Homo-oligomer: A and B are copies of this chain.
Amino acid sequence: MNFTINKKCSYTRARTGLIETAHGNIETPIFMPVGTRGTIKGLTQQQTLDIGAQIILGNTYHLMLRPGKGLIEEAGGLHKFINWQKPILTDSGGFQVFSLSPLRTFSHDGVSFKSHIDGSTHFLGPKESMEIQKALGSDIVMCFDECPSSDAPASYIQEAVERTIRWAHTCKNAPLQEHQNLFGIVQGGLDPSLRRKCAEELVPLDFDGYAIGGLSVGETAEEMYATIEATEPFLPTHKPRYLMGVGTPRNILEAVMRGVDMFDCVLPSRNARGGTAFTWQGKIQIKSARYTHDFSPLDPELDAYPSQFSKAYIRHLLNVKEMTGAILVTMQNLAFYLDFMRQLRQAISSNTLDLFRQKVDAIYPN
């Protein structure tokens, strides 16, 4: 995987770059829509292309349970199975094992857990996660790590970091397909010294990129930003940095200014289904009575398909629970996030990040 930095902001740590993969290029900073079980919820692949997605995510935990590694392998990999030609990043499954599975027991080599769907028993560790992600054939593979909850005691977080480092070695030594790239994940809770330690142990393994994991799990935004600042200086500048599971437009802007290149989050798509639209006029609750007679486009400043429809119409669709309403707002929100990243890249390129920040201050204060 080739990563080229094109432009560095002169007054923040923000940079623009280009990741080249076997399935195409990705301009950074980038937002990656989440396609948990082989599709962005409510969208067809054509619509995901139309809103400008450059790379999407797949979730190893969900895909290993249904339809299973074997079937996707038989289909020729995840790209072929879901008919998506652009890059795919898969997570390791670790996060879901720890957050979704009702019963789990640790061993040296991974976690035994019960499926949240049917209670069947499975085992997932670094070796298994790499085997599955190899079969999925994603362009970017994530190391199997442990992401402790935000209220875990310090001693537990330390153990999780040690497991994460040990497992990173296993992942690094596991075979992958020729075109695949492997990212390491830095854990360590909100403890700067643990974060530094974890980063310093992972960097010599020379991963293709580095993720900052374990954030957006209940801490404040300030704690998140401080933890990025405590981690980023210990990551190689010439590799992409990926902040997992983050966040609001504001969170993303702050993280980009602190040197982060890649993001994923279910926020825009999940909130869409509840009727929250992210627009260039700010976040709006489209079901609110104030939009009953509002025949203006959903987002007059965004050139995306949903802007062909009025707020009043989309409100009507959501009110009568027509799927098409959720679909249009999902398209809007992801198109907005992708346009937000495009404008952010442009602002970095033209050294006008301060102006962009002022614009965001006004519409996405937090």
Chain A residues within CB distance 8 Å of chain B? 37-47, 62, 66-67, 71, 74-75, 81-83, 292-293, 295, 305, 308-310, 312-313, 316-317, 319-320, 322-324, 326-328
Contacts and interface: CB of A to CB of B under 8 A. Distances in A.
B44 A82 contact: no
Given A81-B313, A312-B75, A313-B83, A319 B42 contact: no
Contacts of A66: 316, 319-320
A47 B319 CA distance: 22
Contact of A309 (B83, B322, B326, B327): B83
The CB with the most chain B CB atoms within 10 A, among A40, A312, A326, is that of A312
A289 to B, nearest CB: 12
A298 to B, nearest CB: 11
Per assembly, the copies of the chain total 2
Nearest to A62: B320
A82 B327 contact: no
A283 to B, nearest CB: 22
8 contacts: A40-B324, A45-B308, A66-B320, A75-B310, A75-B313, A81-B313, A82-B313, A327-B327
Nearest to A39: B324
B324 A43 contact: yes
Nearest to A295: B75
A324 to B, nearest CB: 4
Contact of A71 (B292, B309, B328): B292
Contacts of A43: 324
B83 A38 contact: no
A320 B116 CA distance: 13
A68 B23 CA distance: 48
Contacts of A44: 47, 305, 324, 327-328
A41 B313 contact: no
B74 A324 contact: no
A190 to B, nearest CB: 35
Contacts of A328: 44
Given A43-B324, A44-B324, A324-B44, A38 B75 contact: no
Contacts of A316: 37-38, 66-67, 71
A324 B75 CA distance: 19
Contacts of A37: 316-317, 320, 322
A46 B37 CA distance: 25
A323 B83 contact: no
B71 A293 contact: yes
A41 B310 CA distance: 18
Contacts of A83: 308-310, 313
The CB with the most chain B CB atoms within 10 A, among A40, A43, A308, A316, is that of A316
A305 B46 CA distance: 9
Q: List the 4 closest A-B pairs by CB distance, nearest first.
A: A39-B324, A67-B316, A42-B323, A37-B320
A310 B39 contact: no
Contacts of A308: 45, 83
Nearest to A48: B324
A326 B43 CA distance: 11
B81 A324 contact: no
